[in-house]
Amino acid sequence: MSQRRKGGGSRQPDLLPRSKRPAISLPDNHPMVVLTDTVDWTEMEVRAEKIRAKKLKNAAGRPPHLRATLGALTLMAIRQRPYRELEEQIRYYAPARYLCGLTETDWTPDFTTVHDFAQLLGEDGVRVINEGVVEQAAALGLCDPRVAVADMTAQEAVIPHPNEMGLMGGFLRSIEKAARKAGQTIKGFLGKAAGKLKAAKEKVRKYRLFAKTKEAKDRVMAEMAKLVEGLNAGLGKALDDAARAGGRKLRGYSVAAARKLSELHETMRKLLPQIRHWLSTGRVAAGKIINLHIPELYSIVRGKVGKAVEFGLSWA
């Protein structure tokens, strides 16, 4: 009777180690290949750089990989994936690497790089993607033009409505990450808020694992909203204290982190009443924010048209 290997794996190993760098050819008719070969990437880069130059206060820092990040936003439009999954697709999926112009390199933009670039471009960047990619894809018959948006309007059918608990949980993760880099005053806030942060994380866990009925979910969500409201108020006070203490002394990543915290604070200040409106009425509030990091994106309520929301294609 044969014995099973303790270390697992095959009992008949390959004579030569299997390569972890597979060679793969892409078909000429793959949608991403066709789209990549027909889009005017140079024009998109020029337009994106103009938008970027208008919004940056100075030219400090490394220049962005425009071709790769524009390709990443295009992939986001095609596949409608969150940023972390987007990074994994670009890293391991050959057509996605081709779309991003990365077939000759091992480098991959991480999800924070893509997110920060998308946030910087904002509504104008959505227009660049729409006009440069969506129209081209529709002309090639690669997507359904009924949901392709090039004039900064959107249709409710293709707009996601993220879970409110997910938005509040994302707020907690984002402020924890940014607060560690935003100076001593903000770090002090993080220490004082440790108990509330822990309690809020437990609410997220309870909501996902144990709240099975709508009543239970609503109750946990209301408790979570109260905790987040307190944390956001504390964050606002810490930001004010940091400004009075001389926020101008911050440098590099600390400046970006402090700015990010300020944006998150303002977004959550607007989002919490919208969440409470949903809890009390069961209806989505008009102009409901659906993305913490790009608050310009919001939902469309029946009969009302909101701002630019479209980052999605539907492949034919």
pLDDT tens digit sequence for 150-181: 333 333 333 334 578 888 988 988 888 888 87
Residue 215, strand partner residues: none
Alpha helices in 143-287, H assignment, sequence order:
164-179, 184-192, 194-209, 214-244, 253-281
Nearest-CA neighbor of 177 among 257, 286, 232?
257
- Is residue 2 scored above 50 in pLDDT? no
- For residue 22, how many other CB atoms are within 10 A of its CB? 7
Please give the single-letter amino acid code of residue 145.
P
End-to-end CA distance of the chain: 55
Mean per-residue pLDDT for 202-207? Answer: 88
Tens of pLDDT, residue by residue over 142-158, are: 554 444 343 333 333 33
Tens of pLDDT, residue by residue over 277-315, are: 888 888 888 888 888 877 776 665 443 333 333 333 333
Q: Which two tokens stand for residue 265?
A: 């604070």
Phi, psi of 143 (to 5 degrees): -145, 165
Nearest-CA neighbor of 121 among 154, 72, 176?
72
Tens of pLDDT, residue by residue over 238-286, are: 888 888 776 556 666 677 788 888 899 999 999 999 999 888 888 888 8
User: What's the distance, CA 143 to chain centroid?
Assistant: 23
CA torsion sign, 255 to 261 to 265 to 268? positive
